[in-house]
Amino acid sequence: MTSAKYPISALPLASKSHLLIHNLTPDTHTPNHEQFRTKVLLETPSLQRRARLLPGPCHFSHVTPFPVPFPYAIEPPVPAPTDGKASYIENWLADREAVHPLPTPEKFPNSPLRKYAAKNRDQPLDLIGISETGLRDCVPHLDVGDAFAVIGTPSLAHEFDDEGDPQPSDIKEAVDARQDLIDVLSGQFTLMSAPEDSASPNNVPFSPWSLRYSGHQFGSWAGQLGDGRAITIHVTPHPSNPEETYELQLKGSGRTPFSRSADGLAVLRSSIREYLCSEAMEALHIPTTRALSLVSLPALPVHRERVETACVLTRMAPSFIRIGNFEAFNGPTNMFFFGGGQQKSDFEALRILGEWVARSVLKLDIELGKAWGEQMVLDIAKRNAKMVAGWQAYGFMHGVMNTDNISVLGLTIDFGPYAFMDVFDPNHICNHTDEGGRYAYKYQPNMIIYAIRALIDALAPLIGAEAESGGKAVPAGWAEGATSQKVEEWTTKGKELRDEAERIVQETAAVEYGRLMRKRLGLRRQDANDESKFFKPLLESMEQQNLDFHSTFRTLCSFKPSFLDQLDIDTITGTGTAPTETTDVSVSPALHNFIAKLLGGSSTPEKLNHGTATGEWLSWLDRYAERIRDEKSEWAGVVDVDAEREKEMRAANPRFVLRQWVLEEVIAKVERDSDSGKRVLAKVMHMACNPYEPWGAEDNDRPESELDKEEKEERRYCSLGEKKMLGFQCSCSS
């Protein structure tokens, strides 16, 4: 059954019980929606844009999107105002706030929110991407009108052809829905509840917000950080389950109180990277935040290493709360400096946040009045252990695993200088800012343990107090009047959870990693020595032979044990050791071609000792074939086991991967020409969302010359790329 569709300004709003802003503590400067809308936006809008520390108990601050150039070009009036400088700054900002209500759509007179327009900040807006899978999975009830049609037909090779050009609809409703989408998701218009609805019993006061959090960055305490360029503009229930809600968050939509010295904006380059990878991770079945849209603001300059243009990404998740949100209320030290610092501990705010996360975000089944702190920590540990296992199994490197970038839901979040592995190197560092290699590929599981320890440190006094109470939840005001000695006792007791949490992360990650690696190898049975017998030797061969991580797994999909039927490994190698270059290894044509294809994935074929490499593969493949044969009972009822195993493996090993060179090329094309570039972007998004398809006529016997242009480009986009791009590192600048 098809659910009703709504333009974004009429999209259903979650109930109060599902809204963070009605369950956590607001900034004292924006204490509620009504005061925010009528006072702050009109009289003191600079409160949203000034870097400041939130008062101790506060979890969030109301703030509206404000994508304008920064520093703000505020010219003092002539003659000078008699009431001082502050007034004309407030007036300048207020004149550009989205505070002018527009009429409710006729078709949706009971819309829960009203659309507010801004004046004096008009600029061109260009929809360059909309995610079909993000829309389908998270907000299937959102009407995007003719948004896909105006982007044009996805294509790698025909982006300049007339055929497939954007075709706007001639149906007014479709055009209006698309424009509504662009208006809101660009940050140029704002959704808030209307004052005339306040008397209604079903009214849910709503204004956008940004979250406060702190964190450890590269192992050093950074104090208050917060959503410096991210603003949640809507929360909507999924039409199939009202208990499942999604936040719609704009990234790059202007300054907030947490921006510190930054501009609150995001560049097109980094926005494209996050947009694509969010959906690519979902296709790989790795927990992640999701992407909805990209709206370019081509006239808005953003100063990074060079002057670039702005872009607003809309991302979605049930919650964007991180480990750093807990650290904000009980950090390791207090500090203050210009524009930032860290507040004193606030144990009541810690309790309020924890209860919300445990019951409403993680949805833990905890009896009312029972302790929740320990169970919540261990649940967050398990979720993140599964997430990082997915990273390791699919060669994903995050690059900035600071504690403020670790989601309590175990979602991959904040895609910055990330990378997928090319040539396998466990020491690879994808972020060139990470000079010490703290977040290198092989250290990522350890960094999850570090983040969970930071979470325990923040919650330790509460966990300790719950333990002291005999398993009861701490009540409101639980730490009032507690001496520093008592707090220290609770903290010491709470930190005893560290060992158990670390064990759970290691155990959960190992089990999940093993499950995923067996899936990638088409193995159905779990054996205790899988790691030592199959996974580790396979990765070691990749590393030693400079093989491409992903194409090696894809090639293994077509392996058949029968390739080795006429081969005696011990006879060939003498004692089972690898042959030398001069060893006479007589193999079947099928096996010869298969090993040649594996070794063809080397980035340094000129350095490859083919005899040694072939021997290593023969030894590993012999064990692999034996294991496959030994699993025959696992495939009971399957007529052609080889074909079925290959089918399953191809559904677990991507043909297309978001490599660094692909990202750089797509970004360059969109930056050069938006109209044609967005069609390339759409095709790459489609490939990223369907990575297991045989793109580029994979395994087709036709010569390259007989492939059509699109197939040739697909094949190129599935390749390792130019050697100079292998191991390419990005910066945190975005």
End-to-end Cα separation, the chain, in angstroms: 42
Name the CA dihedral angle for 531, 534, 536, 538, rounded to a multiple of 10 degrees: -160
List of residues 6+ apart from 668 with CB closer than 8 A? none
Half-sphere exposure of 408 (CA within 13 A, CB side): 27
CA distances (Å), origin 307, targets 51, 254, 267, 660? 23, 17, 9, 22
Which amino acid is present at 445?
P
The string of DSSP codes covering 64-89 is ------SS---PPPSSPPTT-HHHHH
Catalytic residue among 404, 414, 434, 548: 404
In 3-state terms the chain splits into helix, strand, coil percentages (rounded to 5) of 40, 15, 45
**Looking at residue 253, what is its pLDDT?**
98
Cα separations in angstroms, 476 against 125, 210, 349, 352: 48, 25, 10, 8
Three-state SS across 27-47?
CCCCCCHHHHHHHHHHHCCHH
- Kindly give the interhelix angle for 610-630 and 589-599, rounded to the nearest 10 degrees: 110
Residue 250 parent element (H or E): strand 241-251
Going 306 to 46 to 295 to 243, the CA torsion angle's sign is positive
The Cα–Cα gap between 148 and 181 comes to 12
Number of helices (H) and strands (E), helices first, in the chain? 24, 16
Is 404 tagged catalytic? Answer: yes
- Three-class DSSP category at 137: helix
Q: Of 587, 519, 514, nearest to 553 (Cα)?
A: 519
Q: Which residues contact 487 (CB under 8 A, 6 or more apart)?
A: 461, 479
* 138-149 pLDDT per residue, tens: 999 999 999 999
Report H helices in 254-333: 268-283, 323-327
User: Which of 268, 227, 283 minimizes the C-alpha distance to 250?
Assistant: 227
CA-based torsion, 279, 281, 283, 285: positive or negative: negative
| Residue 409, both tokens | 């839901």
pLDDT in the model for residue 574: 45
The token duo for 228 is: 């410096």
Q: Can you give the pLDDT at residue 158?
A: 87
Distance CA 174, CA 7 (A): 9
Q: What phi, psi does 337 have (nearest 5°)?
A: -150, 175
Residues of the chain with pLDDT under 50: 1, 571, 573-584
Q: Can you list the alpha helix ranges (DSSP code H) found in 407-483?
A: 444-468
Q: Cβ-count burial of 206 within 10 angstroms (0-12 exposed, 13-18 middle, 19+ buried)?
A: buried
Is the separation of the CB atoms in 707 and 718 below 8 Å? no
Single pTM value for the model: 0.96
Contact 422, 394 (CB under 8 A): no
Given this model, what pLDDT does residue 576 score?
44
| HEC profile of 471-539 | CECCCCCCCCCCCHHHHHHHHHHHCCHHHHHHHHHHHHHHHHHHHHHHHHCCCCCCCCCHHHHHHHHHH
Q: Which residue has the tokens 């808030």?
A: 192
Tokens linked to 39? 């006072």
Cis peptide before 71 (omega within 30 of 0): yes
